[in-house]
Amino acid sequence: MKDLPHARESAASTPPAIALRDVSKVFELETGETLTAVSDLSLTIEPGEFVCVLGPSGHGKSTLLNLVAGFLEPDAGSVEAHGDPVKGPGPDRGVIFQRDTLFLWKRVRDNIEYGMKVRGVPKAERTAKADELMEAVGLTKFASSWPRQLSGGMRRRAAIAAVFANEPPVLLMDEPFVGLDYARRAVLHDVVTSLWSRENNTIFFVTHDIDEALALATRVLVVANGSVVYDVSVDLPRPRGTDTLNGPEALEIRKSILRHLDEAMAVEEERFTPAG
């Protein structure tokens, strides 16, 4: 029988948004020792999932995110996005870091339109999309402001709008709201969840804040010693107000996450290999 790759492809289900198979990443330390930052890790994330990653400091969360972003190459195993091998950073995977990534010499609107401009999106379409996003993040009146004229939280919102403007199917966020006050965080949580539910992206979100994870995630991973040590779905109703987040279901999930975090801290596995 004739091979029909296309027919087979269309019959198959959508590939995972992110798929890691037996991935390891080893770093050489200044002492000459090596450190296994990500250890034989396998993970599949389906399109539309909002995955929050918790875990002790220095245990591989950012390394994992950087492997998916394509900023790092694995030493073993494979990393795929939408069924294709990750060969480097790409517009299909938007990244939002802790630090601001706005162009300081561009006004808010131009920052948001920049990615679309590079992709050749016509002016009228760019303007409409930027207007819509500025409204979503509450920056309409600051369209012509320079980044230095915004507060930290406003810059973060502008940066989020700029990344969402590129409509990346996958969004990678590494502690994006660290250092912001409670109210600002709550606003940004609403912004991100409403953009996520509208655009239906897949989000991979690293945080140290268990409350933040419970407010946002459809699934929480605990990463420790370079491995996923706990993987739990968070099936709480939205919007997740105080009642939901303090309800029995949320408290149960929180307890099990905390237990795994405690265990992870207790079992500091030997990740270091002596030199030579």
Ligand X SMILES: Nc1ncnc2c1ncn2[C@@H]1O[C@H](COP(=O)(O)OP(=O)(O)OP(=O)(O)O)[C@@H](O)[C@H]1O
- Return phi, psi of residue 195, to 5°: -65, -40
Binds ligand X by CB under 6 A, chosen from 60, 153, 168, 176 = 60
> Position of tokens 């989020």?
160
Say whether residue 37 binds ligand X (CB under 6 A).
yes
242 contact, one of Mg ion, ligand X, none, CB 5-8 Å limit per kind: none
Say whether residue 126 binds ligand X (CB under 6 A).
no
Binds ligand X by CB under 6 A, chosen from 43, 49, 55, 74 = 55
Say whether residue 35 binds ligand X (CB under 6 A).
yes
17/37 with CB nearer Mg ion: 37
136/257 with CB nearer ligand X: 257
Residue type, 253: I
If one counts every other C-beta atom within 10 angstroms of the C-beta of residue 132, the result is 15
Say whether residue 260 binds ligand X (CB under 6 A).
no
60 contact, one of ligand X, Mg ion, none, CB 5-8 Å limit per kind: ligand X
Residues 6+ apart with CB under 8 A from 190: 239
Report DSSP state, residue 87. -
25/93 with CB nearer ligand X: 25
What is the C-alpha to C-alpha distance for residues 201 and 47, in angstroms, rounded to an integer?
Answer: 7
94/226 with CB nearer ligand X: 226
How many residues bind to ligand X according to rule CB under 6 A? 11
CB 17 within 8 A of CB 202: yes
57/242 with CB nearer ligand X: 57
> Position of tokens 């795994």?
260
63/201 with CB nearer ligand X: 63
* Residue whose Cβ sits closest to Mg ion: 62
- Minimum separation from the CB atom of position 253 to Mg ion (A): 23
Binds Mg ion by CB under 5 A, chosen from 36, 62, 111, 218 = 62
Residues from 176 through 205 that contact ligand X (CB under 6 A)? none
Q: Convert 29-39 to b/e letters by CB count within 10 Å (16 or more is b).
A: eeeeebbbbbb
Cis amide bond preceding 74, omega within 30: no
Say whether residue 70 binds ligand X (CB under 6 A).
no
Q: Tokens for 199?
A: 């655009």
What is the C-alpha to C-alpha distance for residues 192 and 195, in angstroms, rounded to an integer?
Answer: 5
Say whether residue 57 binds ligand X (CB under 6 A).
yes
What is the C-alpha to C-alpha distance for residues 152 and 100, in angstroms, rounded to an integer?
Answer: 9
Residues near Mg ion, by CB under 5 A:
61-62
